[in-house]
Structure 1
Amino acid sequence: MEFSAILALLVTLLITLHFIISWWRQHRRYKSLPPGPTPLPFLGTPKYMDFRYTVINLTKLSQKYGSMFTIWKLTEPVVVLCGYEAVRDALLNHAEVFSARPIIPTLQTPNKGYGISGQRWRPLRRFTIASLRNVGMGKKTIESRVQEETVYLNQAAAETEGKPFNPLLIMASAVGNIISSVLFGEHFEYKDPKLHELMSYTSRHVKNLTSALHMLCNVFPFLLKLPLLPKIAFKENSYLENFVRVYINEHKRTLNPEAPRDLIDYFLLKIKEVEHEKDPDFCDYSMMAATVGLLAAGSETTANTLKFCLILLAHYPDVQAKVQQEIDEVTQSLHLPRLENRPQLPYTNAVIHEMQRVLDLAPVPLFHAVAKDIEFRGYTLPKGTIILPFLTSVLNDPSQWETPEQFNPGHFLDEQGQFRNRVAFMPFSAGKRICAGENLARMELFLLLSAMLQKFTLKLPPGTERRDAKWLNANKHDIISDAQLCAVPRALPTK
């Protein structure tokens, strides 16, 4: 045998031995983790890391292994938390330890680690939430913006003349306009092609986060160094960045430090304040990352939730009629429902919460990681261990919900028929990483849905079979993208 062949064989054996030793050491380090399916050497448990089948796979594993188990991303363990008690214990009782994030290459690469989900997340998140409050989040100013948008929304629904239509576009337009006004002070006509293109790229950007290509790049980050691949992987993100950059440049030109108008203005002022610092957390990268992230998260998920709620109400006409009766009694048809009316609309509020619970739009949030070694519920989790809270298991935990598989607004009503909060209601996750736009999303759901139900009765198109909540949830992605309904104008009661 030639020397070169012997050398090649020796190198191959050494590389193989290196991988075997690395794998063995990795498993020794994590020997105190919860049990789970046996991983394949170097491959982990690829079946259970396929997030297209998250709910089915993780539900089956929880039935076998309980509230904590381990799956593997190649040689890296992922500890899954199931059920209200385990998720609450981690995200609330040990909030600081479980608030870290692992490096997610497809989130880090476009914004160079400056995003709210990156390593600089604490100051950026704190500043972003404070700035959102400054522009009126949770205050009358934002409420008035949302109520203005309900007028455009109802007008768009009226133009359908009671005929079948897909409500996703008008709901996305309404939500897109609201978040645009908060971020950069823009409002679009519902038929504006610019708005339609923006919503299309936003939707595709969010879907890409769980695409096969992004999952592959997260597992093998070196792929992002290949020519052209980043351009393909981040096409939608690049479009959104270019879209936002136009507004940033215009805001730089017209900024008035005495009267900031929106989130971009507050970012520009903060960047100016810290420009003398070495490697500041606030710069053009962080402003772009935060704005694009909020634009995507603040429109796609809320629009999808709104459409699902409309479709679900069309399948439950008795529930819809009861909501409309309550709205009529409170508003007397004299004004649109307001946030101050929410305590007077307990059934309406309960229905909206229950629809979110049934929808379960985000079964798992972005990965968490433990910030330091911790003894947790009988297991030792080394620093950096990836954590996956399975929110579906919380929203359907039989120890917390009387009829978890049914659509039951009574889950959120007490014996007197008044609204009651439920600790296991976590559609926005919980703890230090809870969705930054939660308050805006809650406001939009209440005001937009109640305004539309005040003016219209939602009906299924002729020939459409009425379905129960379990079927609707199982088919939610098809429903959100394709299902149609009819918005029939109501004859409003007079005082």
Structure 2
Amino acid sequence: MGFSTILALLVFITIHFIISWWRQHRRYRSLPPGPTPLPFLGTPMYMDPLTADKDYTLLSQKYGSIFTLWKQTEPVVVLCGYETVKDALLNRAEEFSARPFLPTVHIPTKGYAINGPRWRPLRRFTISSLRNFWMGKKTMESRVLEEATYLTHAVSETEGKPFNPFMILSSALANIISSVLFGEHFDYKDPKLQDLISHTARHNRNITSRMYAVCNVFPFLLKLPLVPKAVFKENFYLQNFVLDYIKEHKCTLKPEAPRDFIDYFLLKIKEFTECKVEHEEDPDFCDLSLLNIVVGLLGGGSESTTSTSKFCLVVLAHYPDVQAKVQQEIDEVTQSLRPPTIGDRPQLPYTNATIHEIQRVLDLAPTAFFHAVTKDIQFRGHTIPKGTTIIPFLTSVLNDPSQWETPERFNPGHFLDEEGKFRNRVAFMPFSAGKRVCPGENLVRMELFLLLSALLQKFTFKLPPGSERRDSKWLNANKRDITSNAQLCAVPRALPTK
């Protein structure tokens, strides 16, 4: 092949790619504005999940509350601010209820999961089953209060010396979700529990890592030898962990007395199997969907709540006046004769407000799990094609100056009215909103309130000697390090007597 032939071929390929790229972008000419994408690469400089909060904040200042990024040649629309996110996830919930195809989600689950194409019946059943634990013989509240006893005992063993609360809190929260899913409670020092906690934490970090982001942008990487095994190592560990319980539950299942979530799901599978219908050749309820849903609940049911709980204790150690006010309120309601219960929550408005405000400041998940539109839509003056990936930027909602009086400061007053009563805020969306809101939201809210109030009733959390008190801006900027590495001292309180 001569030089001129090679040159002509290169010119032809270049022209072909330019025309294809032009046609692709001509189709999306009505999309919201955004940074100019690189041909065939998109805007990779803005697709890093670890810098999304900073990047999206800067881009929203330039392009407004809705802008477009590019994953290679596919558009990704980012929504910013309370009004825009509310308009999408609440006012037009059905149109924004789909999920984009993400290889790192589809490959390990094969689509049988709450975030897959079968999400509606699986999500509906999951929420319904979890609700059963609120009203069963052993209610969810009683499970959490029982765990609060184990937790306060474990903290008391630190004897006021500096310690990292992360593992103790992880043990308590992992036990709660374990009791719901498997009906099992572990000793805090049980190696099986410790292994589960460490693998779950690594699994959750992987989901929001650059590694997963790169594989979603360049899915061919997951077809290379050994790559899937390395990428999904922690997911496979959790799957094997859960499979052992599923096998055991199948052997000991009693239809008249379901013990936990796995039992409820196995009974649902049995129902489908016994009522074989022609159009149910590939049922939504099967062993694979059970496996993936339990793994998902296990991953989302403890580690994020642990980080929130620890951050709460660290913040209160930096704000001793707020901590003292919370403790005084708890003492007045309970007289220190019993731990606080959910029924006490209306009488503990400052405690409730403080926990909510710390969640707002922590802003644990800057973006909601990606959405997608179910059809071509007109939204805020732009045309968004069916299937387009949507990223609700929750940080912009939790810090929207139109919704919060002092968004840059830690201020429990955000959740108190003029009479000091607790008030809900419509812009409080740490769990996202709409049809895809976190299915475990109610459980997490209960865990945070009961466990934290039980700890604050028994202990005053202080900074280790020589530590410097910090403001909320510093705490927020260093939240990743704080939730994993910061140490505290838990000093037993001199409780009022009867």
Question: What TM-score bracket applies, with the shorter chain setting the length?
Answer: over 0.9
Deviation at 1:18, TM superposition (A): 4.0
Q: Would you say the 8 A contact 2:339–2:454 is kept in 1?
A: yes
3-state DSSP of counterpart to 2:438: coil
Summarize the Cα distance change of 1:11–1:215 in structure 2 as closer, same or farther, 3 Å threshold: farther
Q: Is the 8 A contact 2:49 2:213 kept in 1?
A: no
The corresponding residue for 1:322 is 325
1:401-445 residue CA offsets vs partner (Å, 9 max, x unmatched):
000000000000000000000000000000000001000000000
1:178 matched to 2:176: yes
Q: Distance in 2 between matches of 1:58 and 1:318?
A: 34
Partner of 2:439: 436
Q: Which residue of 1 aligns with 2:129?
A: 131
Matching of residue 152 in structure 1 with residue 150 in structure 2: yes
Aligned to 1:485: 488
Q: Distance in 1 between matches of 2:251 and 2:133?
A: 20
CA contact (8 A) 1:138 1:440 kept: no
1:154 and 1:39 map into 2 onto residues whose CA distance is 53
Aligned to 1:30: 28
Which of 113, 116, 122 aligns to 1:115? It is 113
Answering whether residue 351 of structure 2 is matched by residue 348 of structure 1, we say yes
Structure 2 residue identity aligned to 1:490: R
Distance in 1 of aligned mates of 2:131 and 2:485:
35
Cα offset, 1:14, TM superposition: 4.9
Is the Cα contact below 8 Å between 2:49 and 2:210 reproduced in 1?
no
- The one-letter code of the counterpart of 1:274 is F
Secondary structure of residue in 2 paired with 1:494: coil
Deviations 1:139-171 (A, max 9, x none): 970000000000110011000000000000001
Which residue number in structure 2 is paired with residue 96 of structure 1?
94
2:106–2:116 Cα contact (<8 Å) kept? yes
Helix, strand or coil for the counterpart of 1:78? strand
Alignment of 1:393-472 (within 5 A): 393-472=396-475
Q: Describe the shift of the 1:441–1:211 C-alpha distance in structure 2 as closer, same or farther (beyond 3 A).
A: same
Q: Report the identity percentage.
A: 74
Q: Which residue of 1 aligns with 2:363?
A: 360
The reply to whether residue 83 of structure 1 matches residue 81 of structure 2 is yes
Q: 1:129-278 alignment to 2 at 5 Å?
A: 129-136=127-134, 141-275=139-273, 276=276, 277-278=280-281
2:337 pairs, out of 314, 334, 338, with 334
Q: How many residues align?
A: 493
1:182-220 CA deviation, whole Å, 9 max, x = no partner?
011111101111111100000000100122221121111
How far apart are 1:340 and its partner, in Å?
0.2
Equivalent residue for 2:376?
A: 373
Q: Give unpaired runs (5+ residues) of structure 1.
A: none
Q: Which sits farther off after the overlay, 221-230 or 303-312?
A: 221-230
CA-to-aligned-CA distance 1:208-263 (integer Å, 9 cap, x gap): 01222211211111221221111000000010011111100000000011111111
Match status 1:279 vs 2:282: yes
Partners of 1:177 and 1:187 within 8 A in 2: yes
The alpha-carbon deviation at position 17 of structure 1 amounts to 4.0
User: Gaps spanning 5+ residues in structure 2: where?
Assistant: none
Give the SS at the match of 1:115: coil
Query: Equivalents in 2 of 1:28, 1:366: separation in Å?
Result: 28
Worse-matched range after superposition: 424-433 or 140-149: 140-149
The aligned amino acid for 1:416 is E
Q: TM-score, normalised by structure 2?
A: 0.97
1:362-413 superposed Cα distances (whole Å, 9 cap, x missing partner): 0001111110111111111111111111000000000000000000000000
